């Protein structure tokens, strides 16, 4: 069985790493096809280095662009590689433009598609990711659902049960495999002169939050208010999209510590020692839940409802008062919830299923 692993962005690299690690154990004839959607060192190469991933055999170097432009370039590039390599299966992860284009190119060539992290839905079609997820699931032959809830969603959309496999989320594997390494090998807390439990961690990068000036301004105002009210440093590793939009909108948060995006081990350390996390990231909502850190999500919906159900997360939206109020609420929360995303063996399960073990 020849497998093409397609990835293109930071979260895909991190979440595909446990699958690649399994394939590396001599279990499969595979190659990595990087779309080049992310290309800055701190969004891309740093993760290959730190997670000790083999280099991609192909990099399409599509770079940034409008949705149509980027998706189309990936589609064209992936098709060429797949025609040349003729794999039996293509693996895609998540909900980015790389995910969708990879799935579509493969399906049109009648190559089987396996979707890692299938069945997530925010039910908000204004999010580009929601369109990508739905279409990627439609193109897939193996749907690796992280939870029973995701499986139920897929069944509800008419996808046949024999294509759906509940494996857990590979982010649990990634956290378990790297947390101890992170604790032993990096010291970003000291470098930033922080105290464990003495700061909040922030990430905000979703298009619908940061490309809309009033909404981004409102979130930053809420975060400024949180920093003032609770008298803690708020550490914000700024995604390049957010950096660009802050400059374009001339937004200058007063009380946030803006830093460059952090490598995975450093970020895991920052997350695990934070008193609280405020985010709009999908992966960070999951990691907060896995690490036992309360999370305030700066969105009106989430495709990770499991985190709301276990009580690790709350949806605060973008209004400053609500952000402040929900921060207070989550600070009073006991962090004794159970991680709903699996036991850290998703990568192995996925490879077993593919190999028919």
- For the annotated catalytic residues, the residue numbers are 205
How many CB atoms are closer than 10 A to CB 252? Answer: 10
Contact range with ligand UDP by CB under 6 A, out of 55-63, 73-81, 180-188, 258-266 = 258-266
Pick between residue 39 and residue 337 the one whose CB is nearest to ligand UD1: 39
What is the Cα gyration radius of the chain? Answer: 20
Please tell me the count of residues contacting ligand UD1 according to CB under 6 A: 20
Given ligand UD1, ligand UDP, none, residue 262, with its beta carbon under 5 to 8 Å by kind, binds ligand UDP
Of 17, 52, 24, the residue nearest 172 (C-alpha) = 17
Q: Tokens for 225? A: 């208010």
Q: Is 256 in a helix, a strand, or coil? A: strand
Please tell me the count of residues contacting ligand UDP according to CB under 6 A: 15
User: Least distance in Å: CB of 219 to ligand UDP?
Assistant: 15
Tell me how far the alpha carbon of residue 199 is from its chain's centroid: 23
**Angle, nearest 10°, between helix axes 282-291 and 10-22?**
60
Q: Is 6 in a helix, a strand, or coil? A: strand
Q: Is 21 in a helix, a strand, or coil? A: helix
Q: Which of 58, 142, 199, 267 binds ligand UDP (CB under 6 A)?
A: 267
β-pair partners for 237: 259
Euclidean distance between CA atoms 58 and 60, whole angstroms:
6
Pick between residue 11 and residue 114 the one whose CB is nearest to ligand UDP: 11
Q: Which of 10, 34, 299, 349 binds ligand UD1 (CB under 6 A)?
A: 10
Q: Is 98 in a helix, a strand, or coil? A: helix
For position 282 contacting ligand UDP by CB under 6 A, the verdict is yes
For position 45 contacting ligand UD1 by CB under 6 A, the verdict is no
Site string for ligand UDP, 207-246 (x = CB under 6 A): ------------------------------x---------
For position 38 contacting ligand UD1 by CB under 6 A, the verdict is yes
Tell me which residues touch ligand UDP (CB under 6 A): 10-11, 14, 203, 205, 237, 261-262, 264, 267, 281-284, 287
């Amino acid at each position: 069985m020849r497998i093409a692993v397609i990835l293109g962005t930071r979260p895909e690299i991190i979440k595909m790493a446990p699958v690649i690690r399994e394939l590396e154990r001599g279990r499969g004839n595979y190659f990595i096809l990087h779309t080049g959607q992310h290309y800055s060192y701190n969004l891309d190469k740093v993760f290959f280095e730190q997670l000790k991933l083999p280099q991609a055999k192909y990099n399409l170097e599509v770079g940034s662009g409008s949705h149509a432009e980027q998706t189309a370039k990936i589609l064209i590039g992936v098709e060429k590689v797949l025609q040349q390599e003729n794999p039996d299966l293509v693996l895609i992860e998540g909900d980015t433009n790389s995910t969708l284009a990879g799935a579509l190119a493969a399906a049109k060539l009648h190559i089987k598609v396996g979707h890692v992290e299938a069945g997530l839905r925010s039910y908000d079609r204004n999010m580009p990711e929601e369109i990508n997820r739905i279409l990627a699931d439609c193109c897939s032959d193996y749907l690796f659902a992280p939870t029973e809830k995701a499986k139920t969603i897929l069944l509800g959309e008419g996808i046949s049960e024999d294509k759906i496999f509940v494996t857990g989320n590979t982010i649990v594997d990634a956290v378990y495999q790297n947390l101890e390494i992170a604790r032993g090998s990096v010291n970003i807390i000291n470098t930033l002169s922080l105290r464990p439990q003495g700061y909040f961690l922030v990430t905000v990068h979703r298009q619908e939050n940061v490309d809309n000036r009033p909404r981004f301004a409102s979130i930053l105002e809420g975060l400024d208010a949180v920093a003032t009210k609770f008298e803690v440093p708020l550490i914000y590793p700024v995604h390049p999209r957010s950096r660009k939009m802050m400059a374009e909108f001339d937004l200058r948060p007063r009380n946030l510590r803006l830093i460059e995006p952090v490598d995975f081990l450093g970020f895991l350390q920052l997350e695990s020692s934070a008193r609280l996390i405020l985010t709009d990231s999908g992966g960070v909502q999951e990691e907060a839940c896995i690490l036992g850190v309360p999370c305030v999500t700066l969105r009106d919906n989430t495709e990770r409802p499991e985190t709301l159900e276990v009580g690790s997360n709350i949806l605060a939206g973008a209004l400053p008062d609500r952000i402040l109020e929900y921060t207070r609420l989550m600070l009073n929360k006991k962090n004794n919830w159970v991680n709903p995303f699996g036991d850290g063996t998703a990568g192995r399960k996925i490879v077993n299923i593919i190999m028919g073990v």
